[in-house]
Amino acid sequence: MISTGSIAEIQALISQFKSAGKKIGFVPTMGALHQGHLSLVATAKETVDIVVCSIYVNPTQFNNQDDLKQYPRNIDADKNLLAENGCDLLFLPSDEVMYAGRNTIKFEFGDLDRVMEGKFRPGHFSGVALIVSKFFNIVLPNCAFFGQKDLQQLTIIKKLVEELFFNLEIISVPIKREHHGLAMSSRNERLSKEEREEAKIFYKALSEAKAILKEGQSAVAAKEKVNSLLSNHKAQLEYFEIVSDKDLLPKTENYLAPDTVLCIAGFMGNVRLIDNMYLNEN
């Protein structure tokens, strides 16, 4: 695995591979890697010739500076994991490389970034869109791989690619879960052993709400069940929504359609967690 923090160097290497007819796949990460990230790399290995990964904790997508400071960073372990799992090129830029004192461009996505995560994390998706645009322009991949866990991010990135005519394919990779159902996340490292066990309530809430809807009951009944489960629990519910994955707007009918997805977010201690589940997934 070749590692560099230089835009010029990684572009030169990618140009060489493209000249040789190689297909380029890109997996952007913020590090603190887990099996969820590695599933993105594995899917990329099956799809393309050259896998390019990045590790960069992007400051513009954090609306809470304490969250940015506390975000886990395990760069040496991450590099070893990527090398062991088939990453060919690793891009490790600094803030100076990615922003050079400039941070003026803002993105808006209409209703897509005003609901759920956008409602509770203002400015977050503008920062995501900015850094992803920069990476796409640097790497120029044939396809890029994103996890389903960040469903709203995935939807917004697809919109970004469509609107700005990026010539690449976005490939979604299913959520990887711990043994008790908790969605794998870098933020899980900040949970105590007890909190990690307690956090399975989010998966339980999604599963029980899904069962209610599949029985033909209403969204109101599903939301009441989720609120009931979380009301006397150590976890704090921030939102639970039943939406279409196309526009992220609440669904009021036709819940059994393939686009229906249940989304949840909340806190376990001082760690914010998100998760989602398609109604028709196994």
Task: For residue 187, say whether it is annotated as part of any ligand binding site.
Answer: yes
66: tokens are: 């304490």
> What mean pLDDT is reported for the chain?
95
**What percent of the chain shows pLDDT beyond 70?**
100
The domain 186-275: what is its CATH number?
A: 3.30.1300.10
Q: What is the pLDDT of residue 70?
A: 86
Confidence of residue 232 (pLDDT cuts 50, 70, 90): confident
Instruction: Return all residues near 188 (Cβ < 8 A) that are at least 6 apart.
Output: 34, 178, 182, 196, 199, 271, 273
E-strand stretches of 111-249: 143-147, 169-173, 236-244
pLDDT digits (tens, 9 = 90+) for 62-107: 988 888 888 889 999 999 999 999 999 999 999 999 998 777 799 9
Instruction: Return all residues near 9 (Cβ < 8 A) that are at least 6 apart.
Output: none
Confidence of residue 55 (pLDDT cuts 50, 70, 90): very high
What is the Cβ-side half-sphere exposure of residue 153, based on CA atoms within 13 angstroms?
25
Q: What is the pLDDT of residue 116?
A: 95
d(CA 203, CA 208): 9
Pairing of strands 24-29, 2-4: unpaired
Positive or negative: CA dihedral 46, 15, 20, 166: positive
Q: Nearest CA to 13 among 115, 105, 140?
A: 140
Q: What is the pLDDT of residue 114?
A: 93
E-strand stretches of 32-81: 50-55
d(CA 186, CA 73): 9
Task: For residue 181, say whether it is annotated as part of any ligand binding site.
Answer: no
Confidence of residue 196 (pLDDT cuts 50, 70, 90): very high
Task: For residue 150, say whether it is annotated as part of any ligand binding site.
Answer: yes
Given the candidates 3.40.50.620, 1.10.10.10, 3.40.630.30, 2.40.50.100, the CATH classification of the domain at 2-173 is 3.40.50.620
Task: For residue 185, say whether it is annotated as part of any ligand binding site.
Answer: yes
pLDDT digits (tens, 9 = 90+) for 18-29: 999 999 999 999
Helices 75-84 and 35-47 pack at an angle, to 10 degrees, of 40
The segment(s) of the chain belonging to CATH 3.40.50.620 are: 2-173
Q: What is the pLDDT of residue 67?
A: 86
Mean pLDDT of 116-144: 96
| CB count in 10 Å sphere of residue 40 | 26
- CB environment 137-155: b (16+ within 10 A), e (fewer): ebbbbbbbbbbbbbbbbbb
pLDDT digits (tens, 9 = 90+) for 36-48: 999 999 999 999 9
pLDDT digits (tens, 9 = 90+) for 208-228: 999 999 999 999 999 999 999
**What percent of the chain shows pLDDT beyond 90?**
90
Q: What is the pLDDT of residue 36?
A: 94
The segment(s) of the chain belonging to CATH 3.30.1300.10 are: 186-275
User: What type of residue sits at position 67?
Assistant: D
User: What type of residue sits at position 126?
Assistant: S
Q: Is 124 a catalytic site residue?
A: no
Task: For residue 186, say whether it is annotated as part of any ligand binding site.
Answer: yes
Q: What is the pLDDT of residue 138?
A: 98
Task: For residue 34, say whether it is annotated as part of any ligand binding site.
Answer: yes
Q: What is the pLDDT of residue 143?
A: 98
- List 37, 124, 179, 233, catalytic entry: 37
Task: For residue 30, say whether it is annotated as part of any ligand binding site.
Answer: yes
Task: For residue 147, say whether it is annotated as part of any ligand binding site.
Answer: yes
